[in-house]
Amino acid sequence: MNKDPNDNPEARKEAVHRGQLKPDHVKPSSSTLSSKPQQQKRILVVDDNPDIVFTLRVGLESDPTIQVFGFDNPVTALVEFEPNFYDLLLIDVNMPLMDGFQLAQNLVRRDINVRVCFMTAGEINMDAAREVHPLKSIGCFIKKPIATEQLITRIRAELE
């Protein structure tokens, strides 16, 4: 019998580490989410560090109105992306294979209405980034590390 990796937190973390956390592998973290799906906001997190993907998912899902789907590989995220499914994309700027701006441009071509927030641990000139990458969907730039409460506040603001 195959066990669902989401039934076991360690197995779920391993799914993220292998870059195999797909939307159909993620279950709501509380019964509140599953009882009121119309109120859920679906966030796609893409960061090449699987520990960050896992931590962001756990932190954001502490808000019962947020459901998180995560990938630690931008190419996998692009291939698995479902248009008109996510409310917001939370994407790391610096990733191998494809940077966050390239990923966002590709995803926004497939879903023009999705909002995008970028995360980075480095310094970034937001005005210059907006000039070079003139995506209308760019919402916020989030500096890592960030406290969970602050992140949830920023995400809620972007979704309003």
Which CATH number is 74's domain given?
3.40.50.2300
What is the domain range of residue 107?
5-159
- For the chain, what is the domain count? 1
Alpha carbon distances (Å) from 72 to 21, 52, 57, 102: 8, 9, 12, 15
Helices (H) and strands (E) in the chain, counts: 7, 5
The two tokens of residue 96 are 């191998």
Looking at 27-36, 111-120, 129-138, which range is the least confident one?
27-36
The mean per-residue pLDDT over the stretch 83-102 comes to: 95
The two tokens of residue 90 are 């939370």
pLDDT band, very low/low/confident/very high, at 97 (cuts 50, 70, 90): very high
Task: State the burial class of residue 126 (Cβ atoms within 10 Å of its Cβ: 0-12, 13-18, 19+).
Answer: exposed
- Using alpha carbons only, what angle is made at residue 147 by residues 146 and 150, rounded to the nearest 5 degrees? 90
The mean per-residue pLDDT over the stretch 52-73 comes to: 97
pLDDT reported for residue 36: 44
Q: Is the pLDDT of residue 137 over 60?
A: no
